[in-house]
Chain A
Amino acid sequence: MLLLAFDTATPAVTAAVHDGTAVLAETHQVDARRHGELLLPAIDQVLRAAGVDKHRLTGIAVGVGPGPYTGLRVGLVTAAALGHALGLPVHGVCTLDAIAFQARAEGLAGQPFTAATDARRKEVYWASYDAEGRRTEGPAVDRPAELTPQPRSVGAGALLYPDAFPGGHGPEHVSAGALAGFAAAELAAGRELLPNHPLYLRRPDAQVPAGYKAVLPA
């Protein structure tokens, strides 16, 4: 197995190469406004660092969100195009699952917790996990005050709203290494990952213009 993994659902632009056992190389830049500029150079760089020719890859793992849409789409359309051009399967991973995978690796294994990212507009994208790391709730988008999170929480959404997430700590954003690790473990266990479709969780903003406005004074 030789996976190229990347995620653009959080402010991080992150890419990694994973051989099914370990992360061979990883890059991580935080710049919420430049996903489009940073992603392809990051992919190119991580493959060079891993010493892997793109034609040897066996699959692509991509974070499908939830996340702010404009950045999220950069990752998804890149994954779709690379999969098409290189003839590779594209595996979608819920970005919150990747953050949870990393949180367990960093010490939260055996405890239930909530992962939350910033959804802007005073809301968070979130999901909760049990002690075995299974997702028990979410992904969903809500106002922090309306949630009853687990006693421990991770992610920038938890850090941003400490009143709603008292036990909040890192990891802040997703890392492609963790995303690749999650995908590799799931694939090795024979489980299906998600299709390469965005988890928007919100309907598009679209105001129907009010009826035709008169220009003559009433």
Chain B
Amino acid sequence: MADEPLVLGIETSCDETGVGIVRGTTLLADAVASSVNDHARFGGVVPEIASRAHLEAMVPTIQRALDTAGIKASDLDGIAVTAGPGLAGALLVGVSAAKAYAWALDKPLYGVNHLASHICVDQLEHGRLPSPTMALLVSGGHSSLLLSEDITSDVRPLGATIDDAAGEAFDKVARVLGLGFPGGPIVDRTAREGDPKAIAFPRGLSGRNDPAYDFSFSGLKTAVARWVEAKRRAGEEVPVADVAASFQEAVTDVLTRKAVKACKDNGVDHLMIGGGVAANSRLREMAQQRCDRAGIRLRVPRPGLCTDNGAMVAALGAEMVWRDRTPSALDLSADSSLPVTETHVPHTDFHGQAYDALGGGAA
């Protein structure tokens, strides 16, 4: 197998149809078709609308990625796809497409974990991940602290949100403030005009006896809503920018404090931050300051690679090929609740061993 495997990755776990092409740790193409505007008026992602959009966008997005990379599909060394976790119907469109391409082109198929892909994408920006790496994943769907010894085989969850994901809290606070959807970028922009110390919003699960690495954003979201409502009831003007800045400060304070603590407790000197919320400017700034102070090297991909995309799936797929991991079978399932510990879904039965013995993709 090539030292620098050429892999196409398909990501359809939520509302973005992402197709990336990677050679080893080099990004060649990152094509995205988003249905975000179709969901905006609903204030959240509508699964059926997302699934319909994935079907429409699949082939054109693949072609766009191939054109950008300047390669033919037959040049590929493998096809990777998000097998989970994510929206079941949306995942199924990507998994079905990936199987069809892998089978038609006689290439090995790799069903990979969406969360591990979010971590692995940083290899496209900052080279191979050191072992071990601590990862803080924050988005509309997840908020987790993960310790990875080997991104293709060993990812351990240290903590996660016990209620809302951080990105969900951004969406809900944006709705309370009447700022629109999705909330992340709008709250970030609005917060720049506000005072992060104006209102002391609560820091969830930060007591001495609380779980050290778990998160909770539901109480914070409710506190913001109560505060805003109280103002409105009193007939006072809501200082929108101050609310946004103070809320954002509370979220980023908890996220970065726990991430740095996890690094120190586990003797890890690299912290990777990924997921859509990693695009937040205050989170990046605060994480940098706290990591610098703690002697931890911070790795955050550029915002475009933090949100869901196909490049991250291709990056993990390329790593799977490079490390000679077992491909997936053609009966691979889309698993909406795939555990993070399952970095990929290898073929494990008798036929899988026979497949390996035959030299993988040479069907």
Q: Which residues of A contact B (CB under 8 A)?
A: 36-41, 43-44, 54, 69-70, 73-74, 76-78, 80-86, 198, 200, 204-209, 212, 214-216
Contacts and interface: CB of A to CB of B under 8 A. Distances in A.
Nearest to A81: B100
Contacts of A198: 52, 55
A210 B241 CA distance: 25
A40 B48 contact: no
Contacts of B104: 54, 81-82, 85-86
Contact of B96 (A39, A41, A85, A204): A39
Contacts of B176: 212
B304 interface: no
Interface in B204-254: 222, 225-226, 229-230, 233
22 contacts: A37-B331, A41-B331, A44-B103, A69-B48, A73-B92, A77-B55, A77-B58, A77-B93, A77-B100, A78-B99, A80-B59, A81-B58, A81-B97, A81-B104, A82-B104, A86-B104, A198-B52, A198-B55, A200-B52, A209-B44, A215-B226, A215-B229
Given A77-B100, A198-B55, A205-B48, A84 B42 contact: no
A125 to B, nearest CB: 17
Given A40-B100, A81-B58, A81-B101, A208 B89 contact: no
B62 A84 contact: yes
Contact of A80 (B58, B105, B226): B58
B290 interface: no
B199 interface: no
Contacts of B286: none
B7 interface: no
A54 B41 CA distance: 44
B22 interface: no
Interface string B299-330: 00000000000000000000000000000001
Contact of B46 (A44, A78, A200, A206): A206
B335 to A, nearest CB: 11
B95 interface: yes
Interface string B78-111: 0000000000110011011101110111000000
A198 B93 CA distance: 13
A30 B95 CA distance: 20
Contacts of A85: 73, 100-101, 104-105
Nearest to B333: A37
A143 B171 CA distance: 39
A212 B332 CA distance: 40
A137 to B, nearest CB: 26
A180 B316 CA distance: 39
B214 to A, nearest CB: 23
B89 A73 contact: yes
Contacts of B99: 40, 78
Interface residues of B, number: 42
B99 to A, nearest CB: 4
A78 to B, nearest CB: 5
B334 interface: yes
A73 B100 contact: no
Nearest to A76: B55
Contacts of B46: 204-206
Nearest to B100: A81
A63 to B, nearest CB: 14
A74 B92 contact: yes
Given A41-B330, A81-B101, A85-B101, A208 B41 contact: yes
A204 B49 contact: yes
A216 B46 CA distance: 28
Contacts of B175: 212
Nearest to A88: B104
B225 A209 contact: no
A90 B330 CA distance: 21
B348 interface: no
Contacts of A40: 96, 99-100, 103, 330-331
A74 B48 CA distance: 14
A216 B230 contact: yes
A73 B103 contact: no
B332 A37 contact: yes
B43 interface: yes
B51 A70 contact: yes
Contacts of A36: 92, 95-96, 333-334
A207 B100 CA distance: 33
A81 B41 contact: no
B353 interface: no
Contacts of B225: 214-215
A85 B62 CA distance: 10
Closest 9 CB pairs of A and B: A81-B100, A85-B104, A204-B48, A206-B46, A40-B330, A40-B99, A37-B331, A81-B97, A78-B100
A38 B329 CA distance: 11
Contacts of A74: 92-93, 96
Nearest to B95: A36
Interface string B20-63: 00000000000000000000011110101101101100110011
A199 B105 CA distance: 29
Given A205-B48, A214-B229, 5 more contacts: A36-B96, A77-B96, A85-B100, A206-B48, A206-B49
Contacts of B100: 40, 77-78, 81-82, 85
